[in-house]
Amino acid sequence: MNTTNTIRSLGRLIGLILLFSWNLQAESNPPRHPVQSTKSVNGLTSPIPPGPNSPISLTATAGVPFKYELPALLIDNNAIYTSPELPGNGLRLSYETYPPSIVGTPNATGVMNLTINATSHVNNQVESAWVPITLTVIAPTPISLTATAGVLFKYKLPILLPDNSASYTSPQLPSNGLNLSYDTYPPSITGTPNASGVMNLTVNAHSNVNSQEKSAWVPISLTVNPPIPISLTLLAPTYNCATGAFQFNTSGGDGSPITYFAIGVTGPTTNPDQFVDTGLRTAADAQPLLLQATQSGVTVTYVWNIRAQCPVTTPPPGGALTLLAPTYNCTTGAFRFNTSGGDGSPITFSAIGITGSTTNPDQFVDTGLRTASDIQPLLLQATQNGVTVTYPWDLKAACGRARVGQVEPERRLRVEVLGNPVVGEMVHIEVSGAESQSLWVALTNQQGLVVSEKRIGQAAALERLSVKLSRSAGIYLLQVSMPGQTKVMRVLKAD
């Protein structure tokens, strides 16, 4: 045997020894997971078939911090671990442990198919291995909360990260009257919800400690229920002792129409603005009134003492306020209210067709009233300290009008109110005796203000007209005029 053959035989022997040693090591240290590995010796690579087991199966929850320490894929403690899929979906590889760990907070739900690779270089030998991992990220269970619109709400959030300096935010807050409050830690959702409905919130937590970023989040489903209805309540009315103007006052209720009623004030009506009867206003022994309000079939009441609010004192004998016959100029229409007695306090005068409520006794009678041949007596009123006295005054008798203004019977103006008292907001009238003449129709209220008027250029033989009233019940003065004649009638509007 020459030297060359001896060297070749020795090389084959050494190769057999190394191959035996490698197979023995592989049999004594099988991978614990389905690991695929390769080994390169002097540049020659021999693959090792993967194990028969399924991939590593893991489960995480979106929004919840996750950590999983990888298994050792190579014996070398200096092996480098990588994954082509990480970082991703809020997860990364962390070398805080060895082997490293998969850490982070998953953002989205679903299945993540990961591959973990391990590589080492020892004594010119390159070793590598890898393992498949199936990570299923499930949806978190939302925190379910309930609030009521219009009612103060507060909920302290759970701890999402162990770091007490973590910051909490929500992209949906502030809104609907709610916001995050740091009066507590973790912070709280506080405020008074404005509107009912479902609020889907996401609360995020974030911290940075020693350059380590951590995050977590939790979904919250907040159901805001409608506000609790407040029952209807009758309050003390608003009342003017001098004029008798009265207003029903309420609070609460469901927003539907309210019907008001009180004997001596009004029958059932949806109008809260009314007037107290004159007799009730002036009666010294008036009893408390039972006010009623009805909404959606539910009636509430309030006992109102009119005499406690507006006391009426009985004047001394011979000293009571009295209305006397007025001073009147038939030519100019100048008019003056005359009184006697009283307590010296201001007096308010009124008369339909002359003036609304005023403290000035000097007034003028409307031209139409002065010239009307069929004018009815006027009711003059004077009020002092809540006490009203009256005087019926016959204007026609005062000026001898019975002998004036005779007209041809066939040309006599006639006016008929179709329905008096009037129900609704329109008074319907028929006018005759004014054919081919111009007509002027006006309605005035108890304050002497013109409510509505109409002008007809050339009337028909029978003219039917509709004149609009105001909404308030009471007495109105209807005046119909044609050249040389005027008719004035009282119209009562029922509620």
Q: What is the pLDDT of residue 53?
A: 54
* Residue 254 predicted with pLDDT over 60: yes
| Tens digit of each residue's pLDDT (9 = 90 or more) over 91-119 | 999 988 899 999 999 989 999 999 999 99
pLDDT of residue 48: 37
Average pLDDT over residues 388-405: 70
pLDDT exceeds 70 at position 156:
yes
pLDDT at 241 over 70: yes
Q: Is the predicted pLDDT of residue 87 greater than 90, yes or no?
A: yes
pLDDT at 432 over 50: yes
351: CB partners within 8 A, 6+ apart: 378, 379, 380, 381, 393
Task: Tell me what the mean pLDDT of segment 359-380 comes to.
Answer: 80
pLDDT of residue 91: 94
If 0-12 CB within 10 Å is exposed, 13-18 middle and 19+ buried, where does residue 23 land?
exposed
Residue 177: the pLDDT is 95
Instruction: Taking residues 422-447, report their average pLDDT.
Output: 84
Q: In angstroms, rounded to a whole number, what is the distance separating the alpha carbons of residues 439 and 486? A: 10
Region of 402 please: left (phi>0), alpha (psi -120 to 50) or beta. alpha
User: Mean pLDDT score of the chain, rounded to an integer?
Assistant: 82
Region 82-94: what's the mean pLDDT? Answer: 94
pLDDT tens for residues 298-355?
A: 999 999 999 888 887 655 555 788 888 899 888 778 889 999 888 888 999 988 778 8
Kindly report which listed range (196-200, 310-314, 386-390) carries the lowest average pLDDT score: 310-314
For the ranges 282-291, 440-449, 478-487, the maximum mean pLDDT occurs at: 282-291
- Give the pLDDT confidence of 51-67 residue by residue, as tens digits: 445 799 999 999 899 99
How much of the chain exceeds pLDDT 90, in percent?
Answer: 37
3-state secondary structure 193-228: CCCCEEEEEEEEEEEEECCEEEEEEEEEEEEEECCC
Q: Which pLDDT does position 6 carry in this prediction?
A: 52
pLDDT at 485: 79
Q: What is the pLDDT of residue 316?
A: 55
| Rounded distance between C-alpha atoms, residue 351 and residue 477, angstroms | 11
Please state whether the predicted TM-score (pTM) of the whole model is above 0.85.
Answer: no
* Predicted local confidence at residue 314, as pLDDT: 58
Q: How far is CA 426 from the centre of its chain?
A: 37
What gap in Å lies between CA 495 and CA 480, rounded to an integer?
24
At 89, is the pLDDT very low, low, confident or very high (cuts 50, 70, 90)? very high
Burial class of residue 292 (count of CB atoms within 10 Å of its CB; 0-12, 13-18, 19+):
middle
Q: In this model, does residue 261 exceed pLDDT 70?
A: yes
Task: Provide the pLDDT for residue 223.
Answer: 96
Per-residue pLDDT, 396: 78
**Is the CB of residue 254 less than 8 Å from the CB of residue 226?**
no
The Cα–Cα gap between 200 and 171 comes to: 11
Is residue 28 scored above 70 in pLDDT? Answer: no
Q: Which amino acid is at 11?
A: G
Please say if the pLDDT value at position 37 is more than 60: no
Average pLDDT value for residue range 387-407: 68
